Structure 1
Amino acid sequence: MSSSPVPPRDQSQGPPPGYPDLGPEPLDGIHVFTVPAVPTAVVRATAVPMATISEFFDSAFGEAFPALFAAGMTPVAAAFALYTRIAESPEPEADLEIGFPVAAPLTVQLGDEPGEVEGLRVVPSELPAGAVAVTSHVGPYDGLGEAWGRFMAEISALGHSPSSPFWESYVTEPSPDIDPATLRTDLFCPVRTPDDAA
């Protein structure tokens, strides 16, 4: 594999139409877009052990969100996981939100907050606005850790500083008979440059 980064797109071009959907083809290399905030519907959790995180995903996507779809919630792009904190010790764990970008805030779509489904509370949130670096990973989910490591290193090599929260969008909907080598996951990371004064 080549480790040389592809120069990013000009931030002034803005994101593709339909953002956070980036289009039908995986992105080649790293692109940097200036993006708007996008309303989301999420299940939020803290200190989720990485060893059991798939169980959390299965519960939310298998139970909580189907109930909201039936109630009229409209997703506009693929499911995502947004990470606000990852800790490596004493055991790997994460604070995160998982859910869907939506056409309008939940309070507009469904009125009162929908409450809990199977013990999971779905709440309004958003994907953040600003400069965001994006790339695509095609392959099994167990390769995402390595893909994130490469992505962060390439962002730094381009003169940007990775920021948080960062997120991944599961463009290919998994199914029992799908070839894991064909799974596409888009990676998103807010970025800063040395000129971005705090």
Structure 2
Amino acid sequence: MPLLLETIKIEDGDIHDLSYHQARCDRSRHELFGSTDTLDLLSAIQAPTKGIYRCRILYNESIHSIDYLPYTAKEIHTLKVIPSNIVYDYKYANREALDTLLQMHSDVDEVIIEKEGYLTDTTIANIAFYNGKQWITPARPLLEGTMRAKLLEEGFLHKKEIKKEDLKTYTHVALMNAMLGFKILNHFKIKT
């Protein structure tokens, strides 16, 4: 039975966006294991009161472990569009295929995965592009992240299918995940 992962930001004792993590946990357990109960993440988390932590929960039908890791954001300046047929519909703890894809392209900080001709995500985050009026996120992400779900629900993000050739129509790029929030990359280069 595969292990799944939830990565939750804890900042000075505040657990960020827990309802989105709980919803994904419940949905994943139901779809993969037929579980009808809920793992109460709030009761399981013992939030550190000072500092920024990555709360890493490993689970399947039950919680296997919870770790609290001090967080430092990865610096990203160079991205490269890479075609791949990788499948990562659920947030599996086994990220070997994603890690290998990034290692194969060590000339850049992060890769943008192109699947079936459309841009999806990077190996660590969902992605969005600014067209001068609004932020657009790929309609077909590799993984439906919690921050992406929140920003779509709030109307800040809009979904659209994006091809590599469309990149020239966008002026900015942002990465988003539970830890980064919504981070606009100010100094970046995308190799295609």
Which protein has greater RCO, CA pairs closer than 8 Å, 6+ apart? 1
TM-score (norm 1): 0.28
